[in-house]
Amino acid sequence: NWVMSELLRELPGDDERAIAQAKVTPSRLAGLLRLIDDGTISGKIAKTVFETMVRTGEDAIAIVRREGLTQVADAGALASMVASAIAGNPRAVEDYRKGKTAASKAIVGHVMKASGGRANPALVSRLVEEELEKLTKR
């Protein structure tokens, strides 16, 4: 859905010439969608890549490689970020222990911020939940 809104925002009104002259071709847009689908980049990163594609006409994978925008999906690498976020958010941990499971989202947010938005959000959520569950069983 966001692709359509992003694309339509870049194209003025119903000017067919603008669509024909757009730097982002259908095949390049499909390439961007494949990167999201296969987990190479997140939706948030895709928006940044798309903005660059609109300006330059460049292929999504070229932008991702050049800018180092691939999503971090290594549980080992993310585990240390999760541990730091948990250690740095004692209030969220305490709220979670009291049954406020939504408090985990604050910790996930800290990990996402620390990773520059590159961490795989689903994996981060799972790792945070696992670690918080361990803490509540102590």
Q: Does residue 61 share a domain with residue 43?
A: yes
Residue 18 pLDDT class (50, 70, 90 cuts):
low
Domain that residue 127 falls in: 75-136
Q: Does residue 94 share a domain with residue 40?
A: no
Task: Please provide the DSSP assignment of the chain as one string.
Answer: -HHHHHHHHHS-TT-HHHHHH-SS-HHHHHHHHHHHHTTSS-HHHHHHHHHHHHHH---HHHHHHHHT---B--HHHHHHHHHHHHHT-HHHHHHHHTT-GGGHHHHHHHHHHHTTT-B-HHHHHHHHHHHHHHHHT-
Instruction: Supply the mean pLDDT for the chain.
Output: 89
Task: Please give the pLDDT value at position 26.
Answer: 84
Task: Please give the pLDDT value at position 44.
Answer: 85
Q: Does residue 94 share a domain with residue 46?
A: no
Residue 117 has pLDDT above 90, yes or no: no
Task: Please give the pLDDT value at position 7.
Answer: 74
Residue 127 has pLDDT above 90, yes or no: yes
Q: Does residue 81 share a domain with residue 63?
A: no
Per-residue pLDDT reduced to its tens digit, 55-104: 999 999 999 999 999 999 899 999 999 999 999 999 999 999 999 999 99
Q: Does residue 57 share a domain with residue 15?
A: yes
Q: Does residue 42 share a domain with residue 62?
A: yes
Task: Please give the pLDDT value at position 19.
Answer: 65
Of 25, 43, 67, the position where a domain reaches its end is 67
Q: Report the predicted TM-score, pTM, of the whole model to 2 decimal places.
A: 0.73
Q: Does residue 112 share a domain with residue 86?
A: yes
Residue 14 has pLDDT above 70, yes or no: no
Whichever domain contains 128, its CATH number is: 1.10.10.410
User: How many folded domains does the chain comprise?
Assistant: 2
Q: Does residue 81 share a domain with residue 59?
A: no
Calculate the alpha carbon distances from 32 to 25, 45, 110 in Å.
11, 10, 26
Q: Does residue 119 share a domain with residue 86?
A: yes
Q: Does residue 85 share a domain with residue 62?
A: no
